[in-house]
Amino acid sequence: MSVIEVGFIIQRPPYKSETSTLGVTHAISYQVVDMLLEEGQGVTPKVCFIGEGVLNCISGQKAMENYGVTSIESHIKNALLVDLDLYVCKEDLERFGISEDRLIDAEDMGADKKLQVVPFSEIQKILNNSKHLLVF
């Protein structure tokens, strides 16, 4: 009986497809996975935004206004609210010229967690420690 880490790699840009949304929502579902597991078992998602996936992390998304759907920003805020660890690749942010002050923050919702900007070498370590990897 143990808790396993599952790496979620989100590399697709937002809204081009539903892929990145599904990555975040699948990760959030860890909250209720224990309903289907034995006592003491669990899944800890480690969500890593890399490549074009870092574009999902920009704040101020207007998905409801433009598409009538919940924004990825809302999903990411919910993920932070339920204490998920979300990592954003520092090098890819720099490649796109995105400064850290433009990233989503869920402090207004009372979340303790924040998006963690880390070098890719750190993301590699996180993924190496994951039992399984899911690429979105």
Partner 1 sequence: MGTLTIGCFASLVGSKSLDFSLKLAKAALDKGHKVNIWLSSNATIMAKANQKHLKDYSHSEKYVRELLERGVEICECEACALARGIQKAETVEGVEWSAMHWYLAKIYNSDRVVHIGGE
Q: Does 127 bind partner 1 (CB under 8 A)?
A: no
Q: Does 70 bind partner 1 (CB under 8 A)?
A: no
Nearest to 101 by CA among 66, 60, 134, 46: 60
The whole-angstrom separation of Cα 95 and Cα 99 is: 10
Q: Which is nearer to partner 1, 49 or 136 (CB)?
A: 136
Q: Does 98 bind partner 1 (CB under 8 A)?
A: no
Q: Does 82 bind partner 1 (CB under 8 A)?
A: no
User: Residue 82: what are its φ and ψ, rounded to 5°?
Assistant: -95, 20
Q: Whole-number minimum distance, CB 77 to partner 1, in Å? A: 18
- Letter string b/e over residues 24-33, b meaning 16 or more CB atoms within 10 A of that residue's CB: bbebbebeee
What residues line the site for partner 1 (CB under 8 A)?
A: 4, 6, 17-19, 22, 25-26, 28-33, 35-37, 41-43, 45, 132-136
